[in-house]
Chain A
C-alpha cells in the first residue's frame, strides 16, 4: 500500500505557483520523498526527491517539514503543460529490488489559462 496521502485534484492559474501537498506520517528514517508526474498516456517523469533538506532543481522545489511527516512540491510558474497527475512516493534509496516505487492515487493538477 502507498504510504502517502495527497489531495485528489487541484487547480492552478497559469503563471502562478502550484503548491502540491503530501502527507507521509509513517515515513522511515532511511526513506526519501520522491515526486513524479504523469502526463496523459505517457510514462511517469521524475521531478525531484529529498531526504530532509529542501531541494530545488530546474523543474521544481521540494519543501520537507522538519519532522518529515509531510512535504510540498512547488512548481514556481505553472504552465498548461504542467497539467498532469503528480505522485508523491516514499522510498528507501539503496540499491536492490526492495526499493521499488509503490504508487498511490496522486493529485491531478489542472493548470487553467
Chain B
C-alpha cells in the first residue's frame, strides 16, 4: 500500500488565489521530502527539497516566494502555490526517503492543479 500520501488529488482554483497541497509519510518519519512538478508529456522536474525544522532548498529557477514549502513535522510537508496563474497548472508530486526501507524514496499519488 501507499506509504506517502498527497491531498488533494485534484484542485481547481481561481487566478490570484493560493492553494495548499499536503504530503504525508504514512508509516515512517521523513526529515526530508522532495517536491516535483510535471507538465503533460514531460518528465518530473525537481522543484525543491523540504527540510524538517529548517528552510527548504529550491532548485535553480524555482521561485521560493511563489512556491512556499513548510515541513512542520516529521510526517508532513506542504506546498503552497501563491498568487496562482494558469501557467502554474500542473501535476505536483511529492516524495520522501524511508530509512526503514534502505532510504528508498517513495512517491505520493500526485496532485493535479488547474488554475482558471
A contact set with B: CB distance below 8 Å: 34, 36, 38, 41-46, 49, 87, 91, 93-97, 99-106
Contact = CB atoms under 8 A, between A and B. Distances in A.
Interface of B: 4, 6, 32, 34, 36, 43-46, 49, 51, 57, 91, 93, 95, 97, 99, 102-110, 112
B109 A42 contact: yes
A97 B99 contact: no
A100 B46 contact: yes
Contacts of B32: 95-97
Given A103-B43, A104-B43, A46 B105 contact: yes
Decide if the interface of chain A is mainly helix, strand, loop or mixed.
loop
Contact of A43 (B43, B97, B109): B109
B1 to A, nearest CB: 12
Contacts of B97: 95, 99
6 contacts: A44-B44, A44-B107, A46-B107, A87-B43, A95-B32, A103-B36
A102 B43 CA distance: 10
A110 to B, nearest CB: 15
Contacts of A103: 36, 43-46
B43 A97 contact: no
Of all A-B residue pairs in the complex, the 6 with the closest CB atoms, nearest first, are A43-B107, A103-B44, A43-B110, A97-B49, A44-B107, A103-B43
B104 A46 contact: yes
B5 to A, nearest CB: 10
Contact of B43 (A42, A95, A105): A105
A65 B99 CA distance: 27
A104 B112 CA distance: 21
Nearest to A89: B105
